[in-house]
Amino acid sequence: MKFIVSSSYLLKQLQILGGVINNSNTLPILDNFLFELNKSKLNVSASDLETTMSAVLDVDSDSEGSIAVPARLLLDTLKTFPEQPLTFVVEDNNTIEISSNHGKYALAYADGAEFPKAVELADPSSTVMIGDVLATAINKTIFATGNDDLRPVMSGVFFQFSQEGLIFVSTDAHKLVKYQRNDITPSQTAEFIMPKKPLNLLKGILAGSEAEVTIEYNDSNAKFSFENTTLICRLIDGKYPNYEAVIPKENPNRLTIDRTQFLNSVRRVSIFSNKTTHQIRLKIAGAELNISAEDIDYSNKAEERLTCDYQGDDMQIGFNSRFLTEMLNNLNSDEISLEMSLPNRAGILTPIDGLDEGEHVIMLVMPVMLNN
């Protein structure tokens, strides 16, 4: 088995696939890339058993074969080469030899047959969307997912495909994000929960991409195919909580404010908040918003006054500043609206501008009880 490939082209593809490989694997074979050569097509795969990603590379070859090559060693070697053709030759003594312009390097390989086979999706449904749209949807929701092992359904993003369009939801019980696209109609209705790791991989690859992504899914797995790459992952098993039930419908108090100004204020004031609760207080009266925080243990306190546009009754409400900061950071509008009903009901953040046609974002943040 022998092939010739450009060093930078190979490195770029392997670095993407390398994101799948865990630092500590139970099966030693998972520390390798699987190379499957079929004439001028080299299919490279990486897996952690839950997620398998593969890419088809164009190489110069007329042989066939399959081997598993140590990932870390190969990546570390490739990073040091300037752009040049590399020749890979499988030798009889169970090593693969790489020849560059300057030298030769031999790596021990494993038998490709030991590498776990990727799951074949039986009878899948499918939907097609543009890469960048999917990356944006992941970006807008993934930060609000939970890390609680006892509630695995909340540790992923809920994909809901319906006649109205695509909905992506994430929550950790303190904050919730619902991202909607009404400009895309899926071919079939579906609901499934995607784990975080494959979503982070897709987000990195697809940002800014105009390529079409085909999403195929059944009850247990999902497969994303685009350009020369395929990602297959196991879905999170379980029923997603009824998120619509927690979004308050009647919110008579509405605050409109410049996002950056509000975010900077919350950031500054929160430095003086209690280090366990991160609590900040919003006091709204007329066109004035007062943001304050206090850490009684250390006699630290801060307050700022901002002008805002406000319709509703005067009110005081407390929030965890970390959640509020995260949400404001994830909106890219100039102005935002914060809608509230009561100090013990969730506040709803929505961007006023900066959205594409057919794009809707709603963010929900739970209040914290104020101790007067």
- 3-state secondary structure string, 217-241? ECCCEEEEEECCEEEEEECCCCCCC
297 CB-near residues (< 8 Å, 6+ apart): 274
In this model, does residue 184 exceed pLDDT 90? no
pLDDT at 146: 95
Q: What is the mean pLDDT of residues 324-340?
A: 96
In this model, does residue 115 exceed pLDDT 70? yes
- pLDDT tier at 372 (50, 70, 90 boundaries)? low
Nearest to 50 by CA among 229, 157, 198, 250: 198
Calpha distance 348→365 (Å, rounded): 7
Calpha distance 182→165 (Å, rounded): 5
CATH 3.10.150.10 fits 248-368, yes or no: yes
365 burial via Cβ count (<10 Å: 0-12, 13-18, 19+): buried
Calpha distance 34→110 (Å, rounded): 9
Query: In the β-sheet with 347-351, what is the strand arrangement from edge to edge?
Result: 190-195, 156-162, 165-171, 175-181, 359-365, 347-351, 335-340, 253-258, 309-311
Question: What CATH topology corresponds to 2-114?
Answer: DNA Polymerase III; Chain A, domain 2 (3.10.150)
Mean pLDDT score of the chain: 95
In this model, does residue 1 exceed pLDDT 70? yes
Calpha distance 43→199 (Å, rounded): 22
pLDDT in tens, 34-89: 999 999 999 999 999 999 999 999 999 999 999 999 999 999 999 999 999 999 99
Listed in order, the ranges of the chain carrying CATH 3.10.150.10 are 2-114, 125-244, 248-368
pLDDT at 354: 87
CATH 3.40.50.10800 fits 125-244, yes or no: no
- pLDDT tier at 149 (50, 70, 90 boundaries)? confident
